[in-house]
Amino acid sequence: MAFPSSTRYLIIGAGVHGLSTAYHLALQLKARNQGRGEDILVLDKTALGAGASGIACGVVRNNYFQPAMRELMAHNVDVWESDPKAFSYHPVGYMQISPESMHSDIATIAEQQKEIGYESVFVEGKQESTDYMKTIVHDWQAQGITSVLHEKRGGYANNTGAVYGLGGKAEAEGVRIMTGVTVQGFESGNGSSAITAVHTNRGTIQCDYVIVAAGPWVKSVWEMLELPRAVTIKGADGALHENVPTWVFWSLQEGTLGVDPNLQQTNDGGMPPVIHVDTDVPLYSCVDGSLVTDQMWGVYYKPDFHFGGVQGGAAPFKVEADPDDVAVDPYGPESPDFVVGEEFAHMWVSALAHCQKRFEGQMPKYKNEPSGGIGAFSPDSFPVFDVFRENCYVIADSNHGFKMIGVGKLVAEEICGARSKLMEPFRFSRYVEGKLHPVSNSPFPWS
């Protein structure tokens, strides 16, 4: 393909968001007689799925304490369900299994899921929770659990399968996807901040509209756009918190136990829901019985043929280095700094054994290969979906994003002129206006 000198819509990033936006924008333009897929160009510095979308665990759930997140996730699940085959989506459901300290948060979620018609079962009480879990997996043995929220929709999708599915759909609509092209800067003119062209390592491309879907690289593109490096946040008490960095990094910890995925079948021989457990009971090593932690801990896991075992993760940790000094490249398993180590493996497999007897003695099967990766997080750890510089839509999902396959659809509608109520709670102005999302008692920054 000859290197293009211009395009109407230029999308930076071929991950879930860039490709979903490309595909849905092509559909929108056609439906509204405003253009066609050939008007859209997606650029990626490496390849499809080279970022977070290509390494994500792929969990799709509705369980969020924040009402705006739940409403948005219900929309995303609709999109997953629209073509499960193309998106490599496994609608096995999802379970949030919690201790008493999270009981009332989860009860609120269950209540509101009813209100928005999102099917789930909510089980309360210690014995009731254990009994319910044993009807699904007979060897359930986790302690300290007092509620189970079983979402009947959601589940997980195979990371690269979903990305290639989206890419194929976009290309079938005429979208051009070019890899090996790095965006290095933006051009504007005539006294306006609107972007008129994008500089790349292969030349300059004139464009009418830019969509940024750069995942963990959002900080560098944000800086190229000359957007604020720090924000002022109005707290719940009305006090202003100045100079909060716009982007910080967290390291997401995931790994795979290399057992036959069928080991984790349900009592009736099916594939189980994704299991997410948070608890405050002490966790002991499945290797030598020593105390792993007496602090609140949480893990999630599911059998996954794509990863070749039982795959999942634990709570991430904040990268303490100055965000300016954090090297995003090389990314994911190739990073010398941000892959999970023995400590994670020990904790995560011990947690699995704490929950289900079948994982006792399986530590030697942990796949000792690099996994995990970093993510760029916003000041409140929730997404920013907003238009900057008049014609630049930034999709920065703060690591909630693999499941957000439907955000590209809403972005496409907004670009074509329709405002989305679902996207309003995620505007950048919420920080200074103090329109913040409620904070839960979960040990994860993304619940």
Ligand X SMILES: Cc1cc2nc3c(=O)[nH]c(=O)nc-3n(C[C@H](O)[C@H](O)[C@H](O)COP(=O)(O)OP(=O)(O)OC[C@H]3O[C@@H](n4cnc5c(N)ncnc54)[C@H](O)[C@@H]3O)c2cc1C
Question: Alpha helix locations (H) across 11-95?
Answer: 16-31, 67-82
Binds ligand X by CB under 6 A, chosen from 39, 105, 151, 254 = 254
Are residues 211 and 10 in contact, defined by beta-carbon separation less than 8 angstroms? yes
Binds ligand X by CB under 6 A, chosen from 98, 399, 440, 442 = 399
Amino acid at 363: M
Q: Identify which of residues 223 and 360 has a Cβ nearer to ligand X in the complex.
A: 223
**SS3 assignment, position 198:** strand
Nearest distance in Å: CB 434, ligand X: 25
- State the Cα–Cα distance between residues 144 and 315, nearest whole angstrom: 18
Q: Identify which of residues 184 and 420 has a Cβ nearer to ligand X in the complex.
A: 184
Q: Identify which of residues 217 and 348 has a Cβ nearer to ligand X in the complex.
A: 217
Binds ligand X by CB under 6 A, chosen from 221, 315, 355, 410 = 221
Question: Please, which of residues 8-37 interact with ligand X by CB under 6 A?
Answer: 12-18
Question: Please, which of residues 357-396 interact with ligand X by CB under 6 A?
Answer: 372-373, 375, 395
- State the Cα–Cα distance between residues 256 and 396, nearest whole angstrom: 27
* 171 φ/ψ angles, rounded to the nearest 5 degrees: -65, -35
Q: How many Cα neighbours within 13 Å face the side chain of 357?
A: 7
- State the Cα–Cα distance between residues 278 and 300, nearest whole angstrom: 9
Q: Identify which of residues 37 and 312 has a Cβ nearer to ligand X in the complex.
A: 312
- State the Cα–Cα distance between residues 145 and 126, nearest whole angstrom: 6
- State the Cα–Cα distance between residues 239 and 241, nearest whole angstrom: 6
How many CB atoms neighbour CB 56 within 10 A? Answer: 29
Binds ligand X by CB under 6 A, chosen from 217, 382, 393, 431 = 217
- State the Cα–Cα distance between residues 324 and 335, nearest whole angstrom: 17
Run of H or E residues at 199: strand 195-200
Q: Identify which of residues 129 and 371 has a Cβ nearer to ligand X in the complex.
A: 371
- Lookup: tokens for 328: 């995003």
* Residue 335 binds to ligand X (criterion: CB under 6 A): no
Binds ligand X by CB under 6 A, chosen from 93, 99, 167, 215 = 215
* Residue 402 binds to ligand X (criterion: CB under 6 A): yes
* Residue 227 binds to ligand X (criterion: CB under 6 A): no
**SS3 assignment, position 415:** helix
- In the block, residue with structure tokens 């989506």: 89
* Residue 63 binds to ligand X (criterion: CB under 6 A): no
* Residue 213 binds to ligand X (criterion: CB under 6 A): yes
* Residue 169 binds to ligand X (criterion: CB under 6 A): no
Q: Identify which of residues 52 and 149 has a Cβ nearer to ligand X in the complex.
A: 52
* Residue 59 binds to ligand X (criterion: CB under 6 A): yes
Binds ligand X by CB under 6 A, chosen from 11, 29, 51, 97 = 51
Of 116-124, 235-243, 397-405, 430-438, the window that binds ligand X (rule: CB under 6 A) is 397-405
* 379 φ/ψ angles, rounded to the nearest 5 degrees: -60, -30
* Residue 252 binds to ligand X (criterion: CB under 6 A): yes
- Lookup: tokens for 121: 């079962």
Binding-site size for ligand X (CB under 6 A) equals: 40
Are residues 309 and 358 in contact, defined by beta-carbon separation less than 8 angstroms? no
Nearest distance in Å: CB 50, ligand X: 4
Binds ligand X by CB under 6 A, chosen from 26, 136, 214, 412 = 214
Nearest distance in Å: CB 262, ligand X: 22
* Residue 50 binds to ligand X (criterion: CB under 6 A): yes
* 302 φ/ψ angles, rounded to the nearest 5 degrees: -160, 150
Binds ligand X by CB under 6 A, chosen from 22, 55, 170, 283 = 55
Are residues 415 and 394 in contact, defined by beta-carbon separation less than 8 angstroms? no
Q: What is the DSSP letter of 237?
A: T
* Residue 58 binds to ligand X (criterion: CB under 6 A): yes
Q: Identify which of residues 9 and 402 has a Cβ nearer to ligand X in the complex.
A: 402
Query: Where on the chain is the footprint of ligand X (CB under 6 A)?
Result: 12-18, 43-46, 50-53, 55-59, 182-183, 213-217, 221, 252, 254, 372-373, 375, 395, 397, 399-403
